[in-house]
Structure 1
Amino acid sequence: MVNQARIRSFRDLGTETEALDFPVVTLFSGGLDSSYLLYRLHAIGSPEVHAVSVDIGDEETTDEKQRIADRFGVKLHIVDGRDQFAEEYLRPAIAAQSVYLGTHPISSSLSRPLIARIAMKVAEEIGARTLLHTANRSQNTLRRLNGALGLLGFPGNFGSPYELEPVDRDRKIEELDRAGLHGLSGRSVSIDSNLWCREFESGSLDDPEHHPVPEDLYRWTRSGRPAPSPETVRIGFRAGTPTEVNGRELPLAELITRLNHLVGAHGIGRFSGLEHLAQGEKVLEIREMPAAFLLMRTARHLETAVLEAETIREKMHMEQIWTREALEGRWFGELRRAGQSFIESCAARVTGEVTWRLSSGTAETCGILAESPRYIRSREAWERSCVESEVDGHRSPSGPVPIVH
């Protein structure tokens, strides 16, 4: 039996003796919440703290993360997870058309299981009994990280001290300033970025009824730059996996990065939507996901070209089950894995390419080419063929069937 205990407040860090007697691992993004946690661990005298930062295409620089870790005597671990994120999490998400209730592609639901797994591996290597993160009750990351660590069977204490003991932004900034760590007060919203998505929430975007988004938050789709001329882009898939852009074969992580800039330059790929918390309340999230926009639509066009309609209908049902399990923190659960088996059996037949015409704010198909298509290329020729086959099927062995007037 795995001995697991939850850390839910900063008070828990003082009462859970293992948090001080053994090395502590904490997830670290370089932002305000994770920096404040390092400060608090330093303040209570944790003798050995390891900050794990998983690079999946985020925006915080290594130098800045190292500066913060050094300030509090923390060992920083930078782990490159970009290729693993693309191959093991984004590839199946594309095949599963993982869109939340038709509003936006999911993103952090895909990154949290990987981050949890990597952090757990570091904890095992150094003998840490406590693994911390910084999600709070208004962030779905809370149940996704806790869910992943629980299903993975982390043998010790884990959780977020912010869950039951939130600390307001001004207090965190003030205490960090007094501790000699400056420069963390510039953001008006929370930003979560990776190679699949840039997501904005909280702060000035708290209120769904009025949430104008500052244009400078966007990077891939930012307006105000010279608009590119309309262009065609060919996206190639092999067995359900995106493999080519304009005939050039690319590793998936590189392909996604390229499409974010190429598609985003046309102002394509912004999403907004409400997403539920564990208790059912809804919070607003804003995203830019240009590559996700085009890749998922490409996959669906190719699916419709090669799969039977009934198979696609059943797959669409399974897609929502798959997405729900990922969203609720059950990535490592058996239901998502079982659903993925069916989805991948469908994706195995998805090979071909779609040619898109991109222009300001729009993407239109101008060519769908599948390796084993079910589509008709000439309706008139098909109709003649059907008639001829039907007539031939009614001919007797000795000659044509007579026509009765």
Structure 2
Amino acid sequence: MDDLINVAKKSRHVLTLVSGGLDSTYVLDALSSLDCEITALSVNVGEGKAYDDLRSITDHFGANLEVIDCQEEFTADAVLPAIRAQAKYMGIYPISSSLSRPILARTAVRLAKKLDCDVIIHTANQSENSLRRLNGAIQQLGFRGWYGTPYELSSISRKKKISELTAKGLERFYRREISGDANLWCHEFESGALDNPESFAVPKELFTWTAGSETHAACREITIGFQAGVPISLDGQSIPLKALIDRLNYDAGSFGIGRYCGLEHLEFGEKVLEVREAPAATLLMNAARHLETAVLDAEFLREKINLEQLWVREAIEGRWFGALREALDSFMLCVAKRVTGSVSYRLRPGIAEAYAIKADCPLYLTDRDAWEFTVAQQAGRQQIGTLIPVVERIVA
């Protein structure tokens, strides 16, 4: 924490991102002993945080708490582009913190400028890819003060942090064995009992949207409608995107749809295990892909698939506000303008089975026999048209 203390001592006003977790609380503890104003920023991206609990922590350390609701901004500026880009890590699972971190960074930079803060602190550590995502975004946004995390150059054990905070009256961290990150698009879990990919078990109580899915026996049909690449309706009823995501997370999640596990690389090549639930992301990206396939030329679609992982790479590597991702986003938006229609699913435990794909300007066939008959007729007319000049030359 020496680097944090040295920077904070020279600061008039420190802005620190807080989640209410162990790492951000430990930073508040370190800052509280210094002679500088402290603003703790919590950005609401739909994680379902207990803000009364968070306020009790910030009050404990004499910090000013600012809670800013960015759910609509996160939906429009991060989630919707992710749907257009089929944003899955290595094509395996929906990306999540790569989408929320740029929104957190942008909100922090805005507030820092408003409050004249000369330091922005976050609490990502060396084993979290959020470190370069937050640092990269803050840099790209042009913040002129100091920014970073005290955990980049310092390694403090979880046991030590818990012990010190408990001694100061905060005993709430003892039972938190697994770390997590949540937003309205995805719930993600890592570390602790999930450290070893060779043998791990996910406690059932971690899950929210997919909780209780093991006993779900019913079947349900749903239809998701798109207009120019934007999901706009559920079962024929117009619905804002955020509300649609909320509905699908619980409706599809109740069937156990949208659970994932997979390995993610760290900066120097090591891999860490992550487990997540993302029911709405699963269905919305699947429906978008069905409609893209229905309306796009095959070569066009193949090129889009190639560029999708480039879009994902720029996001996960902390270059969200870079020129390349901006250019790729423009391409994805151009493609999305053609994606209008609906996809219908039957939901059963663990399965989302598409049974109807309807596009406004489709390239698909609805009657293959009739199409083959028409093609044969056209081919026959072309052949006759070719033979007539030959016959005329022979007769002449």
Q: Superposed, which structure 2 residues align to 1:292-331 within 5 Å?
A: 292-331=281-320
Runs of 5+ consecutive residues of structure 2 not aligned to the other structure: 392-396
**What TM-score results when the alignment is normalised by the length of structure 1?**
0.93
Aligned AA (1:389): Q
1:390 matched residue in structure 2: 379
Label 1:318 to 1:396 Cα distance change in 2 as closer, same or farther (>3 A): closer
Query: For residues 161 and 64 of structure 1, what CA distance do their matches in structure 2 show?
Result: 24
CA contact (8 A) 1:113 1:148 kept: yes
Q: What is the CA distance between 1:391 and its match in structure 2?
A: 2.6
Q: What is the CA distance between 1:401 and its match in structure 2?
A: 11
Aligned AA (1:12): D
Q: Superposed, which structure 2 residues align to 1:202-221 within 5 Å?
A: 202-221=191-210
Query: For residues 376 and 324 of structure 2, what CA distance do their matches in structure 1 show?
Result: 47
1:321-349 Cα shifts (integer Å, max 9, x gaps): 00000000000011111111111111110
Query: For residues 335 and 223 of structure 2, what CA distance do their matches in structure 1 show?
Result: 22
CA contact (8 A) 1:19 1:129 kept: no
CA contact (8 A) 2:5 2:31 kept: no
CA contact (8 A) 1:274 1:285 kept: yes
* RMSD, aligned CA: 1.8
Corresponding position: 1:199 with 2:216: no
CA contact (8 A) 1:19 1:130 kept: no
Q: What is the CA distance between 1:99 and its match in structure 2?
A: 0.8
2:26 corresponds, among 36, 40, 48, to 36
Runs of 5+ consecutive residues of structure 1 not aligned to the other structure: 1-9
What secondary structure is seen at the aligned counterpart in 1 of 2:357? strand
1:25 corresponds, among 1, 8, 15, to 15
Q: After alignment, is 187-196 or 383-392 more displaced?
A: 383-392
1:263 matched residue in structure 2: 252
Query: For residues 46 and 67 of structure 1, what CA distance do their matches in structure 2 show?
Result: 21
1:266-308 Cα shifts (integer Å, max 9, x gaps): 0110111101011111111001000011111100000000000
After TM superposition, the runs of 4+ consecutive aligned structure 1 residues lying more than 3 A away are 18-21, 223-226, 392-397, 399-402
Corresponding position: 1:122 with 2:122: no
Corresponding position: 1:15 with 2:40: no
CA contact (8 A) 2:314 2:320 kept: yes
Label 1:151 to 1:108 Cα distance change in 2 as closer, same or farther (>3 A): same
Query: For residues 78 and 19 of structure 1, what CA distance do their matches in structure 2 show?
Result: 25
Q: After alignment, is 213-222 or 128-137 more displaced?
A: 213-222
1:135-167 Cα shifts (integer Å, max 9, x gaps): 000001111001111111110111010111122
2:263 matched residue in structure 1: 274
2:93 corresponds, among 101, 104, 108, to 104
Label 1:382 to 1:183 Cα distance change in 2 as closer, same or farther (>3 A): same
Query: For residues 90 and 185 of structure 1, what CA distance do their matches in structure 2 show?
Result: 34
2:58 corresponds, among 50, 69, 73, to 69
What secondary structure is seen at the aligned counterpart in 1 of 2:147? strand
CA contact (8 A) 2:214 2:349 kept: no
CA contact (8 A) 1:24 1:46 kept: no
Query: For residues 72 and 80 of structure 2, what CA distance do their matches in structure 1 show?
Result: 11
Label 1:374 to 1:203 Cα distance change in 2 as closer, same or farther (>3 A): same
What percentage of aligned pairs have identical amino acids? 48
Q: Superposed, which structure 2 residues align to 1:180-195 within 5 Å?
A: 180-195=169-184
2:160 corresponds, among 171, 183, 201, to 171
Q: What is the CA distance between 1:50 and its match in structure 2?
A: 0.4
1:132 matched residue in structure 2: 121
Count of aligned pairs? 391
Aligned AA (1:27): L
1:359 corresponds, among 348, 362, 366, to 348
2:143 corresponds, among 144, 154, 176, to 154
Aligned AA (1:165): S
Aligned AA (2:102): P
Query: For residues 137 and 144 of structure 1, what CA distance do their matches in structure 2 show?
Result: 12
Q: What is the CA distance between 1:20 and its match in structure 2?
A: 4.2
Q: What is the CA distance between 1:46 and its match in structure 2?
A: 3.7
Query: For residues 251 and 228 of structure 1, what CA distance do their matches in structure 2 show?
Result: 29
2:359 matched residue in structure 1: 370
Label 1:19 to 1:127 Cα distance change in 2 as closer, same or farther (>3 A): farther
